Amino acid sequence: MEPERISWDEYFMAQAHLLALRSTCTRLSVGATIVRDKRIIAGGYNGSVSGDVHCIDEGCYVVDNHCVRTIHAEVNALLQCAKFGIPTHGAEIYVTHFPCLHCSKAIVQAGIKAVYYASDYKNDPYALELYQNAGVKLKRVEFNSLYIEREPEKKRATIHALKDKLIEKGVADEEIQRLLTDLFS
């Protein structure tokens, strides 16, 4: 019996979440992965213009409740495609959060055919209308944060503490091993 693998949607969404870990924005970390034919063609995260100061270093530069220093993850991914001559028409994008209106317009204009997002975030009604009018598929993808372990030492300590409690309660060694195997398979 083959081990169960995560789905393609989960895989590409995990990639977007990994990219978000590079974000230099202190308000919200966002990652985006552009995919064609089940292959990653670009990725981006929200952060400052190359060579400029970062929000994590000097704070956000907020105007009208928006950080004007930050380029959004979706736009950074699209710009990466432009920079290297990679066509986006017919591609799909995976984003950690629902794209803002400006990013939604760029996504539609770039010919992206599907937007997959993990979290609702100020979903703009006009963005929804634009996606619908352009025939862009929208899908919320559940994301299990266990796919990306940010605090492995904390996780290891918790597992050891649980294992000790199970031993203390008299749970058989074979049962503990089976539970651990199930947890990590």
Active-site residue flag, 149? no
Residue 32 near residue 119 (C-beta atoms within 8 A)? no
Closest Cα partner for 88 from 115, 110, 105? 110
Residue 147 near residue 15 (C-beta atoms within 8 A)? no
- CA distances for 22 relative to 146, 163, 164, angstroms: 18, 34, 36
Instruction: Determine how many CB atoms are found less than 10 A away from the CB of residue 86.
Output: 14
Q: How far apart are CA 40 and CA 93, in angstroms?
A: 10
Strands 92-97 and 62-63: unpaired
Which residues are 63's β-sheet partners? Answer: 66
- CA distances for 1 relative to 4, 32, angstroms: 9, 34
Residue whose token pair is 């704070």: 59
Set 74, 129, 153, 175: catalytic member = 74
Catalytic residues: 74
